[in-house]
Structures are given as structure tokens and as C-alpha cells.
Amino acid sequence: MVRRIFYQAGQALLIIWATITLLFLLTRSLANEQIILARFIGDESTASSSLGQRQQAQQQARHRLGLDLPLFYLARTAADSSEAWLAPRWYWTGTQNQYHQWVRGLGRGDAGLSYRNQEAVSSLLANALQHTLPLALLAGVLLITLSVPLGIWLAAPGRNVALVVLFALDTLPLFVVALLLLLLLANPDMAALFPAYGLGADETTSFWSAPASYISYLILPLASLVLTGIAEPAIQLATALRIELQKEYVLAARAKGLSAAQTLRRHALRNAWLPTITLLTDLLPNLLAGSLVVELIFALPGLGRLLAEAAAAHDHPVLLGGAVLIVLVRQLSLWLAEGLYRLADPRLRTHSL
């Protein structure tokens, strides 16, 4: 058991390292340094400066951003001839490279500086998450709370029409459902029952400080996430329950005098949980990604708006920080699903490599 825990932890760390390394090398390799420096320094501040002042400002910005260092542990010498391009010479940079400094900063919770406003990326992400996390967590609680009884209800005979409706709902993209809700329930020409966008006058207010005034703006975004996410776990649970209810141990329990509800609760439901738990692997990442989409549609402050603005401004440190966050959430969901799977199935607790 201990060996398996260490093995899975090492495997997860390897996946995280490989993913963030690839993302870092791609974003830094494709970035245009002149655009980065122009956004970091600011075009207005350098427009009236002399050539020497602009060069000095760019040099200081390159040093502050670490762009004066080699990209990785191996770097190629500058090519001053055609032969150098055909047979490049590589040298070891040691720890003085952009990648090492970035990973070292990540270990301290420092993901670098934004190219747009020179703010710390970790601070920008933390401020955005105080709006995104309540939305994702509330949607997750609602999905789990509603999908379990719905799945049990669907497992009974004669629910084919409801299954067809859920299958149809599952095919609709999230942005389509969000736009339909916006059109039907936040439109003065139809029914303006809920706020259409934003968080009112004060968008700096977080859910934790004023939940009562905050929640009304989250009703439609939450409805969008729940409607598009509830079909899969409910159908999965219903399908697993229908299979379990046909097995011999269920028939034997009924023959011993247990009622249908007791048989379902004590025997069938526990075994039906196993395939459903695997959906938790995708639940957290899907809710986070869905929250980003609905934030853009309903003009909510949060991680979605932050990453959209960063993408438009080619703010690679913010995009990279957001990508690292999503990778960590994905691995967290894998660990959570693994733990719940072992709790649900005692046979796996003694499993070893």
C-alpha cells in the first residue's frame, strides 16, 4: 500500500513536471521579445525618450524578466556563419537559465510578473480565484447533490423519456445553454428574473465577504454548469444500478425479505458507485473550464476574464500560470477519485504493485 502511494505520487509529479516544462518551452519559444518588452515598459513611456534611454529601459526590463538568460539548461552558441547553423555548438548553462529560475520561483509560489501591468502572476491568479472558486465549488456541490437522486430515479423502469431528454441536454454545448438562459431569464423582452451580467456596482466584492448579495448573480451561471453537467453522472449511475439490480446477490437479498429500498441502499448502490466515481477524474477540471466559459458569457470577474485578457495581450506568464493551475487541479481530481475508489471498494485497499 505504501509502495503504491509513493509510486502514484512520483508518477503524478512526473506528469506535472513534463506538462509544465512543455508549456514553458512552447510559450517562451514562440514569444516575440520586442512585443514583450514594449508591453512591459509601455509604449507611452518610451515614445518621448531618446534612443539611449529606450535601450537602457529595454535592458533593465530584459534583466527583470530574466530574458537576458538562456532559455534552458542547454543553449546554442550564436551562429555567425552558415557552418554554425549546420553544426551548432551547444553548451551547459547550469542553473542560470530562464526555466530553472521559473521552476525555482514556482516552488516559492512566484510565477513571475505580468507583461501588461508588472504585477505578480500569483497575486493576479489569487484575486481571480476568489471569484471562480465559489462558482466551481457551488456547481460541484449541486451536481453531486442532484445527480445521485436523479440517477437512482432513472434506474427504475419506464424512465426512457427522461433518459432521452438527458441525452439531448448532454449534447448541447455549455455556451449554447448559457446564452439560452440569458435570453429567456435575463432579457427585459422575455423575463428579466435574474441579473444579466457582472456583479453589480462593486466587482471587487468576493463571495466570501458578501454571499447574500453575490449569489443572485451566480444563479444563471450555476444553472448553465449544472444543466450541462448533470446528465453524464446521472446516466452513468442509472446504468450501473440497472446492471447491479439484475445480479444474483440482489435477488438473494430480496428473497431474504429486504425491501427494494433496503436492497438498493445496502447493496446495489455501493457497487454502482464504482464506475461513477471515475467521473470525478473529470469533474473538477470540467467545472473549472466551464466556469471560465460562463464567466466570459456573463461578464463575471474571475479566472476566465483574466486568461482571456492575457491571451489578447500575449501575456504569457499569466497564461502559463493559469495552465499550471489547471494541471494541478487535474492531478488533484485524479488523487481524489483514486481515494474514493479505494473507500468504495475494500478489495483495492490491500492491492500492491
Of the CA atoms within 13 Å of residue 339, those in its CB half-sphere come to 8
Residue 31 lies in a domain: no
102 and 128 share a domain? no
Q: Does the residue 2 lie in any domain?
A: no
Q: Note whether 87 and 171 are same-domain residues.
A: no
The answer to whether residue 14 sits within a structural domain is: no
Cβ pair 281, 257 in contact under 8 A: no
pLDDT of residue 312: 87
Whole-number Cα distances in Å, 308 to 15, 180, 210, 315, 325 = 26, 22, 26, 10, 15
Q: Supply the pLDDT for residue 238.
A: 92
Residues 337 and 283 in one domain: yes
How many C-beta atoms lie closer than 10 Å to residue 80's C-beta? 8
**pLDDT, tens digit, for every residue of 261-287?**
888 888 888 888 877 777 767 788 888
Clarify whether residues 47 and 75 are in a common domain: no
Q: Is 86 inside a domain boundary?
A: yes
pTM exceeds 0.85 for this model: no
Q: Please tell me whether residues 86 and 199 are part of one structural domain.
A: no
103 and 238 fall within a common domain: no
Per the domain annotation, does 19 fall within a domain? no
Residues in contact with 46: Cβ distance below 8 Å, sequence separation at least 6, in sequence order: 38, 53, 54, 57
Kindly report the CATH number assigned to the domain that includes residue 169. 1.10.3720.10
- Non-local (6+) Cβ contacts of 205 within 8 A are 199, 213, 214
pLDDT value of residue 202:
61
According to the model, what pLDDT value does residue 22 have? 93
pLDDT of residue 353: 47
- Look at the chain and report how many structural domains it folds into: 3
Q: Are 205 and 213 in contact (CB under 8 A)?
A: yes
- Both 126 and 159 in one domain: the answer is yes
Same domain, 82 and 204: no
Q: Is residue 30 part of a domain?
A: no
Examine the domain organization and report whether 227 and 336 are in the same domain: yes
> Are residues 220 and 156 part of one domain?
yes
Positions of E strands within 154-293: 186-187, 191-192
Does residue 23 lie in a domain region?
no
60 with 89, same domain? no
Residues 103 and 216 occupy one common structural domain? no
Domain residues for the domain of 63 are 37-67
Residue 179 has a pLDDT of: 93
In a domain, 17, yes or no: no
How would you write the pLDDT of the chain (353 residues) with one tens digit per residue?
Answer: 667 777 877 888 898 899 999 999 988 887 777 778 777 776 545 555 677 777 788 888 888 888 888 889 888 776 555 555 566 678 888 888 999 999 999 989 899 889 888 899 999 999 999 889 989 999 999 999 999 999 999 988 888 899 999 999 999 999 999 999 999 998 888 888 888 777 765 666 666 666 766 788 889 999 999 999 999 999 999 999 989 888 888 888 888 888 878 888 888 888 888 777 777 677 888 888 899 999 999 988 899 989 999 988 888 899 999 999 988 888 888 888 777 777 766 666 555 44
